[in-house]
Structure 1
């Protein structure tokens, strides 16, 4: 039975993986995670990379991305709990993976400030969460 802290780590790692699936960091995260799960076996690493990429494709294709994300998080958390139970020595590598995804997520925040007046319109394209605030016209 895993300690509560390791169960929480597996959950955080599952969440980090799903977060990374929609970022520019995905390829690196996918490779690191597959290496961790493959435990030095090249065939196992390739299978894990395929599994990770399939999860990403399912997430991106989902009509309800929030629900799909929760499902993917739960599935990867379960796999990572199994990894920690079978290979307790992988804890440090898993923590590093979570930290690197968190570091990339905070470093990839983009702020866009734009103004439009009268009949002008604005468009901001991107991926991820966007918050748009409309306020009174400033003089």
Structure 2
């Protein structure tokens, strides 16, 4: 599954429990209106239903349900991109401009932790989620 889809699905579900939810919902439905307008009203209704489930899960500290809801929206977003691959840039903008800003800093960090890209030309690279210790590979003189 695409990293942006995973991050956007997680951010969307987390945003359901925020004060910014109405704006997030409007921007998410607007994405569908541009790309798959025939599905926009259904998505709008699904989002509201799932928000109720999300709030109940948060209230009862039901992490399994929260994770399941993330999975549902990751699949929805993945299906959208499979049908309309050109929507990937719009999904990334939705994530960066509306979903992630609705979250607190710890949730935002968690969402973006799945988005890591490294390109190395003519050298070496180390990517880690924590501290890395090692010796330089530079030749000793």
TM-score normalised by length of structure 1:
0.65
Question: 2:26 is paired with a residue of what secondary structure?
Answer: helix
Gaps in structure 2 of 5+ consecutive residues: 106-141
1:49 aligns with 2:49: no
Q: 4+ residue runs of structure 1 moved beyond 6 angstroms?
A: none
The question of 1:80 aligning with 2:77 is answered yes
Change over 3 Å in CA distance of 1:41–1:99 after alignment to 2: closer
> What's the CA shift for 1:24?
1.2
- Indicate the residue corresponding to 2:93 in structure 1: 96
TM-score, normalisation: structure 2: 0.64
1:11 is matched with which residue: 6, 13, 17? 6
Mapping 1:102-121, distance limit 5 Å: 102-106=100-104
**Distance in 2 between residues matched to 1:65 and 1:27, nearest whole Å:** 23
Paired residues of 1:38 and 1:48 also in contact (CA < 8 A): no
Q: RCO (CA 8 Å, sep 6+): is it higher in 1 or 2?
A: 2
CA distance in 1, matches of 2:35, 2:74: 21
Q: Deviations over 1:57-92 (max 9, x none)?
A: 011123343221100101100111111111111111
Name stretches of at least 5 consecutive residues in structure 1 with no aligned partner: 1-5, 108-139
> Aligned residues, how many?
103
